[in-house]
Structure 1
Amino acid sequence: MILFGESLNVISKKIGKAFRERDPKPIQEEALEQKEKGMDYIDINLGPAKKDGHELMPWVVQVVQEVVPEIPLLLDTSNIQAIEEGLKVIKPCAKPHIVNSIMARPERYTVMLPMAAKYEADIVALMWGPDGLPRDENERAALAVELLYAANEAGIPNEKIWVDGIVTPVNIQQQQCMSLLNFQMMLEDIAPGAMSTCGLSNISNGPPVHLRPILNTTYMIMLGRYGMKSVISDPLDEGLTAVAKGKRQDIVDVVYQAMDGTAPDLSTLSKELADYVKTVRVITGEQLFSDSYLEI
Protein backbone atom coordinates (compact mmCIF):
# COMPACT_ATOMS: atom_id res chain seq x y z
CA MET A 1 0.00 0.00 0.00
CA ILE A 2 1.30 3.45 -0.94
CA LEU A 3 1.18 5.91 1.95
CA PHE A 4 0.47 9.64 1.67
CA GLY A 5 1.52 11.34 4.91
CA GLU A 6 -1.28 13.56 6.23
CA SER A 7 0.42 15.50 9.02
CA LEU A 8 1.70 18.58 7.18
CA ASN A 9 -1.70 20.08 7.73
CA VAL A 10 -2.93 23.55 8.70
CA ILE A 11 -5.21 22.02 11.36
CA SER A 12 -2.13 21.01 13.36
CA LYS A 13 -1.43 23.78 15.89
CA LYS A 14 2.31 23.52 15.37
CA ILE A 15 2.17 23.38 11.57
CA GLY A 16 -0.60 25.97 11.30
CA LYS A 17 1.49 28.38 13.38
CA ALA A 18 4.54 27.69 11.21
CA PHE A 19 2.49 28.40 8.08
CA ARG A 20 1.24 31.71 9.48
CA GLU A 21 4.64 32.83 10.71
CA ARG A 22 6.56 31.47 7.70
CA ASP A 23 8.75 29.46 10.06
CA PRO A 24 10.45 26.71 8.05
CA LYS A 25 11.85 24.72 10.99
CA PRO A 26 8.68 22.85 12.17
CA ILE A 27 7.68 22.21 8.56
CA GLN A 28 11.03 20.71 7.65
CA GLU A 29 11.15 18.66 10.85
CA GLU A 30 7.72 17.23 9.99
CA ALA A 31 8.78 16.44 6.42
CA LEU A 32 11.92 14.66 7.61
CA GLU A 33 9.93 12.69 10.19
CA GLN A 34 7.48 11.57 7.53
CA LYS A 35 10.40 10.36 5.44
CA GLU A 36 11.81 8.49 8.44
CA LYS A 37 8.38 6.95 9.15
CA GLY A 38 8.19 5.51 5.62
CA MET A 39 5.73 7.83 3.90
CA ASP A 40 5.87 7.54 0.10
CA TYR A 41 4.32 10.97 -0.55
CA ILE A 42 3.78 14.07 1.60
CA ASP A 43 0.46 15.90 1.52
CA ILE A 44 0.72 19.68 1.96
CA ASN A 45 -2.72 20.70 3.22
CA LEU A 46 -3.34 24.44 3.52
CA GLY A 47 -7.12 24.16 4.02
CA PRO A 48 -9.10 27.00 2.37
CA ALA A 49 -6.10 29.40 2.38
CA LYS A 50 -8.31 32.16 0.99
CA LYS A 51 -6.17 35.16 1.92
CA ASP A 52 -2.59 34.25 1.16
CA GLY A 53 -2.65 30.75 -0.29
CA HIS A 54 -1.15 31.94 -3.56
CA GLU A 55 1.93 33.04 -1.60
CA LEU A 56 1.93 30.34 1.05
CA MET A 57 1.77 27.24 -1.15
CA PRO A 58 4.89 27.96 -3.25
CA TRP A 59 6.77 28.89 -0.07
CA VAL A 60 5.83 25.62 1.68
CA VAL A 61 6.65 23.57 -1.43
CA GLN A 62 10.13 25.08 -1.57
CA VAL A 63 10.69 24.68 2.17
CA VAL A 64 9.72 20.98 2.04
CA GLN A 65 11.76 20.25 -1.07
CA GLU A 66 14.87 21.73 0.52
CA VAL A 67 15.02 18.72 2.87
CA VAL A 68 13.17 15.90 1.04
CA PRO A 69 13.54 16.62 -2.69
CA GLU A 70 13.14 12.94 -3.51
CA ILE A 71 9.61 12.60 -2.06
CA PRO A 72 6.68 13.54 -4.34
CA LEU A 73 4.12 15.96 -2.95
CA LEU A 74 0.35 16.34 -2.95
CA LEU A 75 -0.82 19.95 -3.13
CA ASP A 76 -4.00 20.17 -1.12
CA THR A 77 -6.16 23.29 -0.77
CA SER A 78 -9.51 24.54 -2.06
CA ASN A 79 -7.71 27.65 -3.35
CA ILE A 80 -7.14 26.89 -7.04
CA GLN A 81 -4.70 29.77 -7.53
CA ALA A 82 -2.59 28.46 -4.65
CA ILE A 83 -2.37 25.06 -6.33
CA GLU A 84 -1.12 26.61 -9.56
CA GLU A 85 1.43 28.79 -7.80
CA GLY A 86 2.76 25.67 -6.10
CA LEU A 87 2.97 23.80 -9.39
CA LYS A 88 4.97 26.66 -10.90
CA VAL A 89 7.85 26.22 -8.45
CA ILE A 90 7.73 22.51 -7.63
CA LYS A 91 10.83 20.56 -8.65
CA PRO A 92 10.41 17.24 -10.48
CA CYS A 93 11.23 13.99 -8.74
CA ALA A 94 11.07 10.33 -9.72
CA LYS A 95 7.26 10.17 -9.50
CA PRO A 96 4.76 12.84 -10.58
CA HIS A 97 3.46 15.24 -7.97
CA ILE A 98 -0.30 15.19 -7.35
CA VAL A 99 -3.06 17.80 -7.27
CA ASN A 100 -5.30 16.85 -4.34
CA SER A 101 -8.29 17.06 -4.82
CA ILE A 102 -10.39 17.79 -7.91
CA MET A 103 -14.09 17.47 -7.12
CA ALA A 104 -16.68 16.06 -9.51
CA ARG A 105 -18.16 19.55 -9.88
CA PRO A 106 -17.92 21.20 -13.33
CA GLU A 107 -17.21 24.68 -12.00
CA ARG A 108 -14.01 23.32 -10.43
CA TYR A 109 -12.83 20.55 -12.72
CA THR A 110 -13.16 22.63 -15.90
CA VAL A 111 -10.53 24.95 -14.40
CA MET A 112 -8.35 22.47 -12.52
CA LEU A 113 -8.02 19.67 -15.06
CA PRO A 114 -6.33 21.79 -17.77
CA MET A 115 -4.08 23.24 -15.06
CA ALA A 116 -2.98 19.79 -13.88
CA ALA A 117 -2.42 18.68 -17.46
CA LYS A 118 -0.31 21.79 -18.17
CA TYR A 119 2.09 20.94 -15.35
CA GLU A 120 1.96 17.16 -15.98
CA ALA A 121 0.70 16.47 -12.46
CA ASP A 122 -1.30 13.46 -11.38
CA ILE A 123 -4.71 14.22 -9.89
CA VAL A 124 -6.93 12.97 -7.10
CA ALA A 125 -10.43 12.68 -8.53
CA LEU A 126 -12.72 13.25 -5.55
CA MET A 127 -16.22 11.82 -5.75
CA TRP A 128 -17.85 14.91 -4.26
CA GLY A 129 -20.52 16.06 -6.66
CA PRO A 130 -22.91 19.00 -7.01
CA ASP A 131 -25.12 17.47 -4.30
CA GLY A 132 -22.23 16.68 -1.99
CA LEU A 133 -21.52 13.16 -0.76
CA PRO A 134 -22.86 10.40 -3.04
CA ARG A 135 -25.60 8.33 -1.49
CA ASP A 136 -24.23 4.96 -2.62
CA GLU A 137 -21.75 3.19 -4.87
CA ASN A 138 -23.87 3.79 -7.97
CA GLU A 139 -23.76 7.56 -7.50
CA ARG A 140 -20.02 7.28 -6.92
CA ALA A 141 -19.72 5.36 -10.18
CA ALA A 142 -21.69 7.98 -12.12
CA LEU A 143 -19.50 10.78 -10.77
CA ALA A 144 -16.36 8.78 -11.58
CA VAL A 145 -17.42 8.31 -15.19
CA GLU A 146 -18.15 12.03 -15.56
CA LEU A 147 -14.94 13.23 -13.95
CA LEU A 148 -12.61 10.74 -15.61
CA TYR A 149 -14.11 11.47 -19.01
CA ALA A 150 -13.44 15.18 -18.44
CA ALA A 151 -9.89 14.40 -17.31
CA ASN A 152 -9.23 12.27 -20.39
CA GLU A 153 -10.58 15.06 -22.59
CA ALA A 154 -8.14 17.44 -20.87
CA GLY A 155 -5.24 15.14 -21.71
CA ILE A 156 -4.94 13.29 -18.41
CA PRO A 157 -4.95 9.50 -18.88
CA ASN A 158 -6.43 7.11 -16.33
CA GLU A 159 -2.94 6.11 -15.23
CA LYS A 160 -2.42 9.63 -13.81
CA ILE A 161 -5.70 9.63 -11.88
CA TRP A 162 -6.17 8.57 -8.24
CA VAL A 163 -9.88 8.06 -7.57
CA ASP A 164 -11.07 8.97 -4.08
CA GLY A 165 -14.53 7.57 -3.33
CA ILE A 166 -14.64 9.36 0.06
CA VAL A 167 -14.37 7.70 3.47
CA THR A 168 -16.98 8.64 6.07
CA PRO A 169 -17.03 8.16 9.87
CA VAL A 170 -18.19 4.71 10.89
CA ASN A 171 -19.95 6.00 14.01
CA ILE A 172 -22.44 8.16 12.07
CA GLN A 173 -22.45 6.73 8.51
CA GLN A 174 -21.84 3.03 8.99
CA GLN A 175 -23.61 2.06 5.74
CA GLN A 176 -21.35 4.36 3.71
CA CYS A 177 -18.33 2.28 4.73
CA MET A 178 -19.68 -0.67 2.76
CA SER A 179 -20.79 1.61 -0.08
CA LEU A 180 -17.17 2.67 -0.58
CA LEU A 181 -16.01 -0.94 -0.51
CA ASN A 182 -18.61 -1.80 -3.15
CA PHE A 183 -17.47 1.15 -5.27
CA GLN A 184 -13.85 0.05 -4.93
CA MET A 185 -14.83 -3.37 -6.30
CA MET A 186 -16.40 -1.65 -9.35
CA LEU A 187 -13.54 0.74 -10.04
CA GLU A 188 -11.40 -1.39 -12.33
CA ASP A 189 -14.34 -1.85 -14.69
CA ILE A 190 -15.29 1.84 -14.52
CA ALA A 191 -11.78 3.21 -14.89
CA PRO A 192 -9.26 0.63 -16.12
CA GLY A 193 -5.71 1.66 -15.29
CA ALA A 194 -6.69 4.31 -12.75
CA MET A 195 -5.17 4.39 -9.29
CA SER A 196 -7.13 4.94 -6.07
CA THR A 197 -6.74 6.62 -2.72
CA CYS A 198 -8.76 7.83 0.26
CA GLY A 199 -8.60 9.90 3.41
CA LEU A 200 -8.35 6.80 5.55
CA SER A 201 -8.55 8.38 9.00
CA ASN A 202 -12.01 9.80 8.24
CA ILE A 203 -13.47 6.41 9.19
CA SER A 204 -12.34 6.95 12.78
CA ASN A 205 -13.11 10.67 12.97
CA GLY A 206 -15.40 10.83 15.99
CA PRO A 207 -14.87 7.50 17.81
CA PRO A 208 -12.63 7.48 20.91
CA VAL A 209 -8.92 7.96 20.29
CA HIS A 210 -8.01 4.41 21.33
CA LEU A 211 -10.22 2.98 18.56
CA ARG A 212 -8.73 5.06 15.76
CA PRO A 213 -5.70 2.87 14.91
CA ILE A 214 -7.63 -0.39 14.67
CA LEU A 215 -10.47 1.14 12.67
CA ASN A 216 -8.02 2.77 10.26
CA THR A 217 -5.87 -0.34 9.84
CA THR A 218 -8.80 -2.71 9.40
CA TYR A 219 -10.46 -0.53 6.77
CA MET A 220 -7.17 -0.11 4.90
CA ILE A 221 -6.82 -3.89 4.68
CA MET A 222 -10.42 -4.29 3.51
CA LEU A 223 -10.07 -1.60 0.83
CA GLY A 224 -6.72 -3.00 -0.23
CA ARG A 225 -8.27 -6.39 -0.86
CA TYR A 226 -10.45 -4.76 -3.50
CA GLY A 227 -7.67 -2.87 -5.19
CA MET A 228 -7.12 0.34 -3.19
CA LYS A 229 -3.62 1.49 -4.16
CA SER A 230 -2.90 4.15 -1.54
CA VAL A 231 -4.23 5.83 1.57
CA ILE A 232 -3.72 9.22 3.17
CA SER A 233 -2.61 8.16 6.65
CA ASP A 234 -1.10 9.23 9.95
CA PRO A 235 2.69 8.87 9.82
CA LEU A 236 2.78 8.32 13.59
CA ASP A 237 0.66 5.18 13.36
CA GLU A 238 3.54 2.76 13.09
CA GLY A 239 1.27 -0.27 13.41
CA LEU A 240 -0.70 0.78 10.34
CA THR A 241 2.48 1.48 8.42
CA ALA A 242 3.83 -1.98 9.30
CA VAL A 243 0.67 -3.59 7.91
CA ALA A 244 0.77 -1.38 4.80
CA LYS A 245 4.34 -2.44 4.11
CA GLY A 246 3.60 -6.16 4.42
CA LYS A 247 5.02 -6.80 7.89
CA ARG A 248 1.88 -8.17 9.61
CA GLN A 249 0.43 -10.84 7.38
CA ASP A 250 -1.28 -12.40 10.41
CA ILE A 251 -3.50 -9.33 10.74
CA VAL A 252 -4.25 -9.26 7.02
CA ASP A 253 -5.17 -12.96 7.06
CA VAL A 254 -7.62 -12.68 9.94
CA VAL A 255 -9.28 -9.60 8.43
CA TYR A 256 -9.76 -11.47 5.14
CA GLN A 257 -11.20 -14.44 7.05
CA ALA A 258 -13.61 -12.15 8.89
CA MET A 259 -14.67 -10.60 5.57
CA ASP A 260 -15.36 -14.09 4.22
CA GLY A 261 -17.21 -15.22 7.36
CA THR A 262 -14.58 -17.88 8.09
CA ALA A 263 -12.76 -16.28 11.02
CA PRO A 264 -11.80 -18.67 13.83
CA ASP A 265 -13.76 -18.61 17.06
CA LEU A 266 -12.75 -15.47 18.94
CA SER A 267 -11.80 -17.51 22.01
CA THR A 268 -9.02 -19.18 19.98
CA LEU A 269 -7.45 -15.90 18.92
CA SER A 270 -5.21 -13.47 20.72
CA LYS A 271 -7.00 -10.34 21.93
CA GLU A 272 -5.25 -8.33 19.20
CA LEU A 273 -6.49 -10.52 16.37
CA ALA A 274 -9.96 -10.96 17.92
CA ASP A 275 -10.30 -7.18 17.99
CA TYR A 276 -9.65 -7.04 14.25
CA VAL A 277 -12.43 -9.59 13.65
CA LYS A 278 -14.81 -7.48 15.75
CA THR A 279 -13.82 -4.39 13.80
CA VAL A 280 -14.55 -6.03 10.46
CA ARG A 281 -18.00 -6.94 11.75
CA VAL A 282 -18.64 -3.31 12.69
CA ILE A 283 -17.45 -1.94 9.35
CA THR A 284 -19.58 -4.41 7.38
CA GLY A 285 -22.62 -3.57 9.51
CA GLU A 286 -22.91 -7.05 10.96
CA GLN A 287 -22.62 -5.37 14.36
CA LEU A 288 -23.74 -1.85 15.21
CA PHE A 289 -21.00 0.57 16.13
CA SER A 290 -20.65 1.68 19.71
CA ASP A 291 -17.72 3.22 21.53
CA SER A 292 -17.42 -0.04 23.50
CA TYR A 293 -17.73 -2.52 20.63
CA LEU A 294 -14.36 -4.14 21.40
CA GLU A 295 -15.57 -4.98 24.91
CA ILE A 296 -18.64 -6.87 23.72
Structure 2
Amino acid sequence: MNFWLTVFRQVGRNLRQTWTSQVMTLLTVSLSVLIFSLFYLIYTNMLNAGDQLGDELRLIVYLEDEPVPEMKEQLIRKINSFDEVEEIRFISREEAYERFAEQLGSNRDVLAAMPKDFLPPSIEVTPMKTLRSLNQIKGFSGYLGRLPGTVKVQYGQDWMERFYHFTQLLSIVVLLSGSLLILTTIYMVSYTIRLTIMGRQDELELLRLVGATNNYIRTPFLMEGLLQGILGSTIGIGALFILFRWITEKFSGPGFLKLIDFTFFSPSVVLTLIFVSILLCTVGCHTSMRKYLKI
Protein backbone atom coordinates (compact mmCIF):
# COMPACT_ATOMS: atom_id res chain seq x y z
CA MET A 1 0.00 0.00 0.00
CA ASN A 2 2.81 2.41 0.92
CA PHE A 3 4.57 1.47 -2.33
CA TRP A 4 1.64 2.44 -4.53
CA LEU A 5 0.92 5.57 -2.49
CA THR A 6 4.50 6.68 -3.04
CA VAL A 7 4.26 5.83 -6.75
CA PHE A 8 1.12 7.92 -7.24
CA ARG A 9 2.70 10.82 -5.38
CA GLN A 10 5.73 10.60 -7.64
CA VAL A 11 3.54 10.46 -10.74
CA GLY A 12 1.71 13.60 -9.61
CA ARG A 13 5.03 15.31 -9.02
CA ASN A 14 6.32 14.35 -12.45
CA LEU A 15 3.14 15.63 -14.09
CA ARG A 16 3.44 18.98 -12.32
CA GLN A 17 7.09 19.40 -13.25
CA THR A 18 6.59 18.63 -16.96
CA TRP A 19 2.96 19.65 -17.40
CA THR A 20 3.52 21.53 -20.67
CA SER A 21 5.06 18.54 -22.42
CA GLN A 22 2.50 16.26 -20.80
CA VAL A 23 -0.36 18.35 -22.20
CA MET A 24 1.22 18.43 -25.66
CA THR A 25 1.69 14.67 -25.59
CA LEU A 26 -1.90 14.14 -24.44
CA LEU A 27 -3.22 16.35 -27.26
CA THR A 28 -1.04 14.55 -29.80
CA VAL A 29 -2.20 11.13 -28.66
CA SER A 30 -5.83 12.28 -28.64
CA LEU A 31 -5.56 13.78 -32.12
CA SER A 32 -3.82 10.68 -33.49
CA VAL A 33 -6.51 8.41 -32.05
CA LEU A 34 -9.21 10.73 -33.40
CA ILE A 35 -7.76 10.75 -36.94
CA PHE A 36 -7.28 6.98 -37.07
CA SER A 37 -10.67 6.24 -35.49
CA LEU A 38 -12.41 8.64 -37.88
CA PHE A 39 -11.08 6.96 -41.01
CA TYR A 40 -11.58 3.50 -39.53
CA LEU A 41 -15.19 4.37 -38.65
CA ILE A 42 -15.82 5.60 -42.21
CA TYR A 43 -14.20 2.47 -43.61
CA THR A 44 -16.24 0.05 -41.49
CA ASN A 45 -19.47 1.89 -42.28
CA MET A 46 -18.68 1.81 -45.99
CA LEU A 47 -18.16 -1.95 -45.75
CA ASN A 48 -21.49 -2.26 -43.94
CA ALA A 49 -23.08 -0.04 -46.58
CA GLY A 50 -21.70 -2.33 -49.27
CA ASP A 51 -23.28 -5.32 -47.51
CA GLN A 52 -26.61 -3.52 -47.14
CA LEU A 53 -26.71 -2.37 -50.74
CA GLY A 54 -25.39 -5.73 -51.89
CA ASP A 55 -28.50 -7.35 -50.44
CA GLU A 56 -30.45 -5.44 -53.09
CA LEU A 57 -28.11 -6.39 -55.92
CA ARG A 58 -29.92 -7.59 -59.04
CA LEU A 59 -28.52 -8.39 -62.46
CA ILE A 60 -31.05 -7.49 -65.15
CA VAL A 61 -30.73 -9.55 -68.33
CA TYR A 62 -32.67 -7.89 -71.18
CA LEU A 63 -33.93 -10.31 -73.85
CA GLU A 64 -34.89 -9.92 -77.48
CA ASP A 65 -38.12 -11.88 -77.13
CA GLU A 66 -40.11 -13.43 -74.33
CA PRO A 67 -38.87 -16.99 -73.83
CA VAL A 68 -41.21 -19.93 -74.11
CA PRO A 69 -41.43 -22.36 -71.14
CA GLU A 70 -38.82 -24.71 -72.62
CA MET A 71 -36.46 -21.79 -73.18
CA LYS A 72 -37.02 -20.58 -69.60
CA GLU A 73 -35.96 -23.96 -68.23
CA GLN A 74 -32.88 -23.92 -70.44
CA LEU A 75 -31.94 -20.41 -69.29
CA ILE A 76 -32.40 -21.39 -65.63
CA ARG A 77 -30.11 -24.40 -66.08
CA LYS A 78 -27.47 -22.29 -67.81
CA ILE A 79 -27.58 -19.58 -65.11
CA ASN A 80 -27.28 -22.13 -62.30
CA SER A 81 -24.43 -23.87 -64.10
CA PHE A 82 -22.26 -20.80 -63.49
CA ASP A 83 -23.09 -20.56 -59.78
CA GLU A 84 -26.07 -21.03 -57.52
CA VAL A 85 -28.29 -17.96 -57.28
CA GLU A 86 -30.89 -16.89 -54.75
CA GLU A 87 -33.63 -16.10 -57.24
CA ILE A 88 -34.34 -16.07 -60.97
CA ARG A 89 -37.40 -14.13 -62.05
CA PHE A 90 -38.70 -13.63 -65.58
CA ILE A 91 -40.30 -10.25 -66.29
CA SER A 92 -42.71 -10.06 -69.20
CA ARG A 93 -43.24 -6.99 -71.37
CA GLU A 94 -46.57 -6.24 -69.66
CA GLU A 95 -45.08 -6.59 -66.16
CA ALA A 96 -42.20 -4.30 -67.12
CA TYR A 97 -44.76 -1.78 -68.38
CA GLU A 98 -46.73 -1.90 -65.09
CA ARG A 99 -43.56 -1.47 -63.05
CA PHE A 100 -42.52 1.52 -65.12
CA ALA A 101 -45.98 3.05 -64.74
CA GLU A 102 -45.83 2.64 -60.95
CA GLN A 103 -42.43 4.34 -60.86
CA LEU A 104 -43.85 7.30 -62.79
CA GLY A 105 -46.64 7.65 -60.23
CA SER A 106 -48.83 10.65 -61.03
CA ASN A 107 -46.97 11.12 -64.31
CA ARG A 108 -48.01 7.75 -65.70
CA ASP A 109 -50.28 9.55 -68.17
CA VAL A 110 -47.25 10.01 -70.43
CA LEU A 111 -47.56 6.29 -71.22
CA ALA A 112 -51.15 6.59 -72.39
CA ALA A 113 -50.20 6.61 -76.06
CA MET A 114 -47.54 3.91 -75.68
CA PRO A 115 -48.24 0.22 -76.32
CA LYS A 116 -47.93 -2.03 -73.30
CA ASP A 117 -45.35 -4.20 -75.00
CA PHE A 118 -42.79 -1.53 -75.93
CA LEU A 119 -40.44 -2.50 -73.08
CA PRO A 120 -38.19 -5.56 -73.54
CA PRO A 121 -38.67 -8.72 -71.47
CA SER A 122 -35.98 -9.44 -68.94
CA ILE A 123 -34.65 -11.80 -66.30
CA GLU A 124 -33.89 -10.57 -62.76
CA VAL A 125 -31.06 -12.64 -61.29
CA THR A 126 -30.27 -12.28 -57.57
CA PRO A 127 -26.82 -13.76 -56.88
CA MET A 128 -25.88 -15.52 -53.67
CA LYS A 129 -24.26 -13.39 -50.98
CA THR A 130 -21.04 -15.34 -51.49
CA LEU A 131 -20.85 -13.83 -54.97
CA ARG A 132 -20.28 -10.22 -54.01
CA SER A 133 -16.78 -9.16 -55.10
CA LEU A 134 -16.49 -6.83 -58.08
CA ASN A 135 -14.54 -9.33 -60.19
CA GLN A 136 -17.05 -12.09 -59.48
CA ILE A 137 -19.98 -9.88 -60.44
CA LYS A 138 -18.18 -8.80 -63.61
CA GLY A 139 -17.52 -12.41 -64.54
CA PHE A 140 -21.13 -13.39 -63.84
CA SER A 141 -22.39 -10.43 -65.89
CA GLY A 142 -20.18 -11.43 -68.83
CA TYR A 143 -21.50 -14.99 -68.62
CA LEU A 144 -25.12 -13.80 -68.58
CA GLY A 145 -24.41 -11.59 -71.57
CA ARG A 146 -23.60 -14.69 -73.61
CA LEU A 147 -26.91 -16.42 -72.89
CA PRO A 148 -29.14 -17.10 -75.93
CA GLY A 149 -31.33 -14.12 -76.82
CA THR A 150 -29.56 -11.69 -74.45
CA VAL A 151 -29.39 -8.06 -75.56
CA LYS A 152 -27.79 -6.38 -72.52
CA VAL A 153 -26.96 -6.98 -68.87
CA GLN A 154 -27.17 -4.22 -66.27
CA TYR A 155 -26.34 -4.22 -62.55
CA GLY A 156 -25.17 -0.67 -61.79
CA GLN A 157 -21.61 -1.50 -62.80
CA ASP A 158 -20.39 2.11 -62.88
CA TRP A 159 -21.63 2.76 -59.35
CA MET A 160 -20.21 -0.52 -58.06
CA GLU A 161 -16.78 0.21 -59.53
CA ARG A 162 -16.68 3.68 -57.95
CA PHE A 163 -17.78 2.27 -54.60
CA TYR A 164 -15.19 -0.52 -54.77
CA HIS A 165 -12.34 1.87 -55.62
CA PHE A 166 -13.48 4.24 -52.86
CA THR A 167 -13.32 1.47 -50.24
CA GLN A 168 -9.88 0.49 -51.55
CA LEU A 169 -8.72 4.09 -51.11
CA LEU A 170 -10.18 4.17 -47.60
CA SER A 171 -8.28 1.02 -46.66
CA ILE A 172 -5.03 2.71 -47.68
CA VAL A 173 -5.93 5.83 -45.67
CA VAL A 174 -6.72 3.65 -42.63
CA LEU A 175 -3.30 1.98 -42.89
CA LEU A 176 -1.55 5.34 -43.21
CA SER A 177 -3.44 6.87 -40.29
CA GLY A 178 -2.72 3.75 -38.23
CA SER A 179 0.99 4.13 -38.97
CA LEU A 180 0.72 7.80 -37.97
CA LEU A 181 -0.91 6.78 -34.69
CA ILE A 182 1.86 4.30 -33.92
CA LEU A 183 4.75 6.62 -34.77
CA THR A 184 3.43 9.79 -33.12
CA THR A 185 2.26 8.05 -29.97
CA ILE A 186 5.50 6.18 -29.36
CA TYR A 187 7.64 9.22 -30.19
CA MET A 188 5.71 11.77 -28.10
CA VAL A 189 5.42 9.56 -25.03
CA SER A 190 9.08 8.61 -25.34
CA TYR A 191 10.03 12.29 -25.65
CA THR A 192 7.98 13.30 -22.59
CA ILE A 193 9.40 10.51 -20.42
CA ARG A 194 12.89 11.45 -21.55
CA LEU A 195 12.34 15.03 -20.37
CA THR A 196 11.13 13.75 -17.01
CA ILE A 197 14.12 11.44 -16.61
CA MET A 198 16.62 14.15 -17.59
CA GLY A 199 15.04 16.58 -15.14
CA ARG A 200 15.34 14.06 -12.29
CA GLN A 201 18.78 12.59 -12.99
CA ASP A 202 20.25 13.70 -9.66
CA GLU A 203 17.25 12.47 -7.69
CA LEU A 204 17.27 9.12 -9.49
CA GLU A 205 20.97 8.71 -8.83
CA LEU A 206 20.38 9.37 -5.16
CA LEU A 207 17.58 6.79 -5.09
CA ARG A 208 19.94 4.20 -6.53
CA LEU A 209 22.55 4.98 -3.88
CA VAL A 210 20.08 4.52 -1.01
CA GLY A 211 19.03 1.12 -2.40
CA ALA A 212 15.77 1.87 -4.24
CA THR A 213 14.65 -1.09 -6.37
CA ASN A 214 14.31 -0.91 -10.13
CA ASN A 215 10.55 -1.37 -9.86
CA TYR A 216 10.33 1.56 -7.46
CA ILE A 217 12.12 3.80 -9.96
CA ARG A 218 10.45 2.56 -13.14
CA THR A 219 6.84 2.26 -12.01
CA PRO A 220 6.05 6.02 -11.88
CA PHE A 221 7.23 6.42 -15.49
CA LEU A 222 5.17 3.43 -16.62
CA MET A 223 2.17 4.91 -14.83
CA GLU A 224 2.65 8.14 -16.80
CA GLY A 225 2.59 6.24 -20.08
CA LEU A 226 -0.46 4.31 -18.91
CA LEU A 227 -2.32 7.53 -18.05
CA GLN A 228 -1.38 9.08 -21.39
CA GLY A 229 -2.80 6.06 -23.19
CA ILE A 230 -6.04 5.97 -21.20
CA LEU A 231 -6.72 9.71 -21.28
CA GLY A 232 -5.55 10.25 -24.87
CA SER A 233 -7.61 7.41 -26.33
CA THR A 234 -10.67 8.29 -24.23
CA ILE A 235 -10.57 11.94 -25.32
CA GLY A 236 -10.01 11.00 -28.96
CA ILE A 237 -12.84 8.45 -29.10
CA GLY A 238 -15.10 10.74 -27.08
CA ALA A 239 -14.50 13.58 -29.56
CA LEU A 240 -15.24 11.22 -32.44
CA PHE A 241 -18.50 10.11 -30.81
CA ILE A 242 -19.61 13.73 -30.39
CA LEU A 243 -18.72 14.40 -34.04
CA PHE A 244 -20.58 11.27 -35.14
CA ARG A 245 -23.72 12.24 -33.24
CA TRP A 246 -23.59 15.78 -34.62
CA ILE A 247 -23.27 14.57 -38.21
CA THR A 248 -26.06 11.98 -37.92
CA GLU A 249 -28.42 14.51 -36.31
CA LYS A 250 -27.44 17.38 -38.63
CA PHE A 251 -27.95 15.34 -41.80
CA SER A 252 -30.79 13.14 -40.62
CA GLY A 253 -33.16 14.36 -43.34
CA PRO A 254 -33.77 12.74 -46.73
CA GLY A 255 -30.58 11.91 -48.51
CA PHE A 256 -27.70 9.45 -48.66
CA LEU A 257 -27.45 9.07 -44.87
CA LYS A 258 -31.02 7.76 -44.76
CA LEU A 259 -30.24 5.02 -47.25
CA ILE A 260 -27.58 3.45 -45.07
CA ASP A 261 -27.65 2.54 -41.40
CA PHE A 262 -24.50 4.25 -40.10
CA THR A 263 -23.37 3.00 -36.69
CA PHE A 264 -20.66 3.84 -34.18
CA PHE A 265 -18.05 1.42 -32.91
CA SER A 266 -19.20 -1.49 -30.79
CA PRO A 267 -17.98 -1.55 -27.16
CA SER A 268 -15.46 -4.27 -28.04
CA VAL A 269 -13.91 -2.10 -30.77
CA VAL A 270 -13.75 0.91 -28.42
CA LEU A 271 -12.01 -1.17 -25.76
CA THR A 272 -9.59 -2.51 -28.38
CA LEU A 273 -8.69 1.03 -29.51
CA ILE A 274 -8.11 2.07 -25.90
CA PHE A 275 -6.01 -1.03 -25.23
CA VAL A 276 -3.88 -0.45 -28.35
CA SER A 277 -3.33 3.20 -27.34
CA ILE A 278 -2.27 2.14 -23.85
CA LEU A 279 0.05 -0.47 -25.35
CA LEU A 280 1.67 2.08 -27.70
CA CYS A 281 2.13 4.60 -24.88
CA THR A 282 3.65 1.92 -22.68
CA VAL A 283 6.02 0.91 -25.48
CA GLY A 284 7.08 4.53 -25.90
CA CYS A 285 7.63 4.82 -22.18
CA HIS A 286 9.64 1.59 -22.04
CA THR A 287 11.74 2.69 -25.03
CA SER A 288 12.68 5.94 -23.33
CA MET A 289 13.46 4.27 -20.00
CA ARG A 290 15.63 1.66 -21.68
CA LYS A 291 17.63 4.35 -23.44
CA TYR A 292 17.95 7.03 -20.78
CA LEU A 293 17.31 5.28 -17.46
CA LYS A 294 20.48 3.34 -16.73
CA ILE A 295 19.06 0.65 -14.43
More helix by share: 2
TM-score, L = length of structure 2: 0.21
Max radius of gyration: which structure? 2
More strand by share: 1
Structure number with the bigger relative contact order (C-alpha 8 A, sep ≥ 6) is 2
